[in-house]
Amino acid sequence: MKCRFGSLKMQNLDNIQALWAREMPQLDTSTMALIGRLQIAHKHMTLAMSKTFRRYGLSEAGFDVLATLRRSGPPYRLTPNQLLAQMLVTSGSMTSRLNQLQKQQLITRSQDQQDKRICWVQLTEQGLALSKEVIQAHVETQQALLAGLSREQHQQLLSGLQSYLQQAGLE
């Protein structure tokens, strides 16, 4: 998958780093090269995955809800609080996500029969069918994005990112 972001290309990162090295030689600009490439990779991957979601009439946020409900297993339902805990989003953004998916008839919201304080969010038959299709397409998109890496490169990248996230307290 090829993608460019305006005039930002890989050689521009090298040029920027070289210009900083010339302008302020005491700076170690090696971090710029790595972080710049991570930012470009993130944008490229996000655009590719968003394109996949749009083919199914979903946003990234909508996909996130459907995928979370789907991986919860039958009966494919969770409370909004359970969704929040698994998705790490704010309750305000969760409400708008659920409203949109309900409007698309992909989820239903209903009160618990025993405890009326509990609201369930559940995939509809249409939501279940769509989730199967879009999750398959999502995995295929991810595989295409990483197809240029060897198994060893894939593992090295994964290990390096896991180490970084652990050291940063994010994993």
**Rounded distance, CA 80 to CA 117, Å?**
12
Q: From first to last of its 171 residues, what are the pLDDT tens digits of the chain?
A: 555 554 456 668 888 888 988 999 999 988 888 999 999 999 999 999 999 999 999 999 999 999 999 999 999 999 999 999 998 677 778 999 999 999 999 999 999 999 999 999 999 999 999 999 999 999 999 999 999 999 999 999 999 999 999 999 987
The domain segmentation of the chain, as residue ranges, is 10-55, 58-145
Give the H/E segment covering residue 123.
strand 119-123
pTM: 0.84
For residue 127, what pLDDT is reported?
Answer: 99
Q: Which CATH number fits the domain 58-145, given the four candidates 2.60.40.10, 3.30.1330.60, 1.10.10.10, 1.10.3720.10?
A: 1.10.10.10
Give the H/E segment covering residue 22.
helix 10-23
